[in-house]
Homo-oligomer: A and B are copies of this chain.
Amino acid sequence: MPILRQEPLTGEWVIIATERARRPETFAPPKKEKKEPLPARVENCPFCIGNEHMTPPEVLAYRDKTSSPDTPGWQLRVIPNKFPALEQKNVQGGTAFDPASKWNFLESFPGYGVHEVIIETPDHNRHLADLKNSELALVLRSFKERLIALAKDQRLKYVQIFRNHLREAGASIEHPHFQLLAFPFIPPLLETEYRRSKEYYEEEKRCLICNILEKEKKIKERIVLENDSFIAFIPFAAPLPFTTWIVPREHASSLEVTKDGWEEELAPVLRGFLERISQKLGDPPYNLYLHLAPLQSDSLPYYHWHIEIIPKLTIVAGLEMATGTFINVSKPEEAAQFLRKQEASVGNH
Contacts and interface: CB of A to CB of B under 8 A. Distances in A.
B84 A318 contact: no
A3 B87 CA distance: 10
A119 to B, nearest CB: 16
Contacts of A200: 103
A35 B196 CA distance: 50
Contact of A322 (B211, B219, B291, B316): B291
Nearest to A314: B170
Given A1-B110, A2-B87, A85-B20, A179 B319 contact: yes
Interface string A328-347: 00000000000000000000
A288 B327 contact: no
Contacts of A211: 105
A322 B160 contact: yes
Contacts of A215: 105-106
Interface string A12-48: 1101111110000000000000000000000000000
The listed residue with most B CB atoms (<10 A of its CB), out of A17, A91, A288, A319, is: A319
Interface residues of A, number: 78
A135 to B, nearest CB: 21
A218 B105 CA distance: 14
Given A1-B111, A87-B2, A318 B105 contact: no
A85 B324 contact: no
Contacts of A321: 287, 289, 308, 310
A83 B323 contact: no
B187 A3 contact: no
A149 interface: no
Interface string A135-170: 000000000000000000000000010111001111
B6 A111 contact: no
A205 interface: no
A189 B105 contact: no
A173 interface: no
A91 B2 CA distance: 12
Interface in A65-113: 83-87, 89, 91, 97, 103-112
22 contacts: A1-B89, A1-B111, A2-B87, A4-B112, A8-B105, A12-B188, A13-B185, A16-B111, A20-B83, A85-B327, A106-B215, A106-B219, A160-B323, A162-B318, A164-B317, A170-B315, A170-B316, A189-B323, A287-B318, A287-B322, A289-B322, A308-B321
